[in-house]
Amino acid sequence: MATEEVIQTFCSFCHSNCGMRISVRAGKIARVSGEPSHPANLGRLCPKGAAAKELVYSPQRLKYPLRKTQTGFERISWELALDTIASRLMGLRQKYGPETLVLYRGAPVNQEVFDGFAQLLAAYGSPNRTGPSHLCHVPIQLAKSLTYGGSPEPDYGSTKCMVIWGANPTESNRVGDAVHGRVDKVIPRAKRRGAKLIVIDPVRTPMASMADEWVPIIPETDAALALGMLNVIIGEGLYDKEFVDRWTVGFPSLVEHIQQRTPLWAEKVTGIPAGTIERIARIYATAKPALIHMGNGLDQHPNVVQTTRAISLLPAITGNVDVPGGNAFYPQPKLSPYPTLSPGGKRLGDDKYPLFPNVPFPAVLDAILTGKPYQPKAMIVNHGNPVLINASERRAREALEKLEFLVVFDIFHSATAELADIVLPAACDLERIGFGVYSSPKGAFVALQQKVVEPTPECRAWFEVEYELAKRMGLDKTYPWKTGEEWVNYRLRPTGVSVEDLKERPFVNITPPAEYRKYLRDGFATPSGKVELYSERLKSHGYEPLPVYQEPPQTPVAGFPLLGTTRRPGVYVHTRFRNLPSLRKREPDCVVRIHPKDAQERELEDGDQALVHSPEGSIRVKARVTTDTRPGLVVVDFGWGNPWDEWQNVNILTSDDARDPISSTTSNRRFPCQLRKVVSASE
């Protein structure tokens, strides 16, 4: 019998990056288990991680490069695929200039999604690296950075009050950006210790069910709630006068600004009773220390930056910044930069969204569709599915179809791959080397993703593909690495840790634990050195310097009396994994959650099939009648719509018309709609 070798690695099916041990026998994965000492999971694996073997050996894996023909796709060799891509891209550069190439990369679940093809794009001369960041994380980070000069993280250790605002940690495994030990235990443990739990979410999530206060807010109205809370805290003198005087700018303007933003005003906007707003404001301001975790529920709305600026002022005026149990700045790992990552050229989006740090996808979409300021002609998609994940599938599809040349690098033939001129089969996570860097209250650390098994024949790791392309395009001289291992060692150089150091260890610490109240020594990393309640930077770009509530677009729309929002089922990640049988069994349908009152009015019963209509389109769903949602609000599952799914994409219903003026963010989580029964459960 062949001997079993156990290899240390981590799962990167989602951002948690749980430590894993993989037993390999005769070159094949035999067993997968959690690594007991890994700081992110302490031995636990969720069903997705446990299904890693199913993914690697899925019969649906892309097995060879494909080229689009008049009648479908045909198999081609790697040589031909690489030669074709290199010559097409060089030809397009000559014709249209280097900015014509766009790189779309998906949610950065691991470092290679950040890094893949980035050097190639830059060496080619294009600054246009885009992705879902206008919907995910970056708008909130921008708001925090405008306010604090950095991104303070919820610090659960000794907190007395947790405000979980627009996050669903039970399904997402996220309690912030930093690693806090087992995510499923962090909040319950703090609660057992006596910390209050306030969950602000239109939906009664599992976390909302265990909360001291579930605050079922109307989607996209959180700025009004935050302003109402600021009004109470300031009006009742519950703010931290010493911190405000010494460490903030703009407090007198803020006081004036929130005068009219009373709890009664906020009640009308948010649907939350004024009494509740007063109560949670008092609890948050007086619990000391108290933390706020802002999740992705706040991200996907067209007033996200102002909204999360408003929320960011709460820790500032209550002195909960950079204190244990509040929101604190953790040590961040440093990596070597790519030599040519700032290639110059006119970045798409810079004219309209100058403060947004990345190239936002809506700006790319507009440029493709309108030719302004110029028209990108080529795109490489790595580890992402832009057709399905952007608001308005119709518009995303239209834009990608308009490109002259689309290359998709994926492990499956996704909805986006369907549109490609060339599809390349990627080696998956367990078939190549990778790494991750993390922050945590105990300090920053690094972990290695090892190549556990040889790639599925003809599947290749991104770094090999990228380097082969670079060679063919005459751009390889700019590369600080040639192989995967060299890539890891190059990027990790400032940490002092190398691949060799990491091979036998689940992680290596690279900084001391977090220190608190660093501002006493260093100030804040803002232009004023203080927390900027009033933002001159926003003002100088023509935006409101103090946070404002903006009425959501599209409400009400005649004929669409319901509001729709979207949910991400925990057993999937975005559009992934519905083709893995063990996971599909757990969530086989695209479900709409609907309140009994709304269901009754439409003669809908649990299990019935219905059509959800919005002004943009309609999709079929299965009804679940539940009081977990508010009357008037239906919650549709996000992530279906790949070629192997029999359910459709919820972004057929969403619109990309409304955009956040600062970040271009669209309204992926709020759309007007109506429901109609099509098949009864009993039929």
Instruction: Name the residues that contact ligand MGD, by CB under 6 A.
Output: 14-15, 106-107, 132, 135-137, 165-169, 171-174, 200-203, 205, 217, 219-220, 222, 295-298, 300-301, 382-386, 389, 409-412, 414, 426, 428-429, 565-566, 568, 570, 572-576, 638, 650-651, 654, 668-669
Q: Determine contact, residues 147/535, Cβ cutoff 8 Å.
A: yes
Rounded CA separation 511/513 (Å): 7
Token pair, residue 160, equals 């007395």
502 touches, from ligand SF4, Mo ion, ligand MGD, none (C-beta below 5 to 8 Å by class): none
Quick one: 300 or 535, whose CB is closer to ligand MGD? 300
Cis peptide before 556 (omega within 30 of 0): yes
365 touches, from ligand SF4, ligand MGD, Mo ion, none (C-beta below 5 to 8 Å by class): none
Rounded CA separation 491/494 (Å): 8
Half-sphere exposure of 160 (CA within 13 A, CB side): 9
Quick one: 297 or 436, whose CB is closer to ligand SF4? 436
13 binds ligand SF4 (CB under 6 A): yes
415 binds ligand SF4 (CB under 6 A): no
The nearest distance, CB 434 to ligand SF4, in angstroms, is 13
Rounded CA separation 107/130 (Å): 11
111 binds ligand SF4 (CB under 6 A): no
The nearest distance, CB 136 to Mo ion, in angstroms, is 3
14 binds ligand SF4 (CB under 6 A): yes
Q: From residue 587 to residue 626, what is the string marking binding to ligand SF4 with x (rule CB under 6 A)?
A: ----------------------------------------
DSSP string for 397-427: HHHHHH-SEEEEEESS--TTGGG-SEEEEBP
* Dihedral sign, Cα of residue 227, residue 357, residue 141, residue 329: negative
46 binds ligand SF4 (CB under 6 A): yes
Quick one: 347 or 574, whose CB is closer to Mo ion? 574
Span near ligand SF4 by CB under 6 A; candidates 42-50, 96-104, 133-141, 224-232: 42-50
128 touches, from ligand MGD, Mo ion, ligand SF4, none (C-beta below 5 to 8 Å by class): none
597 Cβ partners below 8 Å, 6+ apart? 631
Strand order in the sheet with 28-34: 4-10, 19-25, 28-34
Packing angle of the helix pair 222-235, 263-270 (nearest 10 deg): 170
Among 11, 218, 389, 396, binds ligand SF4 (CB under 6 A): 11
**Pairing status of strand 196-200 against strand 161-165:** parallel
Residues for the chain: how many in total? 683
Token pair, residue 94, equals 């000559």
- Neighbour count for residue 344 (Cβ, 10 Å): 12
Quick one: 138 or 223, whose CB is closer to Mo ion? 138
Span near ligand SF4 by CB under 6 A; candidates 40-48, 154-162, 347-355, 382-390: 40-48
Task: Look up residue 213 and give its amino acid.
Answer: E
E strands in 95-234: 101-105, 129-130, 153-154, 161-165, 196-200, 213-215
The nearest distance, CB 203 to ligand MGD, in angstroms, is 4
The nearest distance, CB 100 to Mo ion, in angstroms, is 28
Site for Mo ion in 118-137 (CB under 5 A): 136
**Pairing status of strand 101-105 against strand 248-249:** unpaired
**Pairing status of strand 445-449 against strand 508-509:** antiparallel
576 touches, from Mo ion, ligand SF4, ligand MGD, none (C-beta below 5 to 8 Å by class): ligand MGD
Q: Determine contact, residues 153/439, Cβ cutoff 8 Å.
A: yes
Site for ligand SF4 in 126-185 (CB under 6 A): 173
Among 22, 29, 32, 45, binds ligand SF4 (CB under 6 A): 45
Query: How many residues of this chain interact with ligand SF4, rule: CB under 6 A?
Result: 12
What is the contact surface with Mo ion in residues (CB under 5 A)? Answer: 107, 136
What is the contact surface with ligand SF4 in residues (CB under 6 A)? 11, 13-14, 16-18, 41, 45-46, 48-49, 173
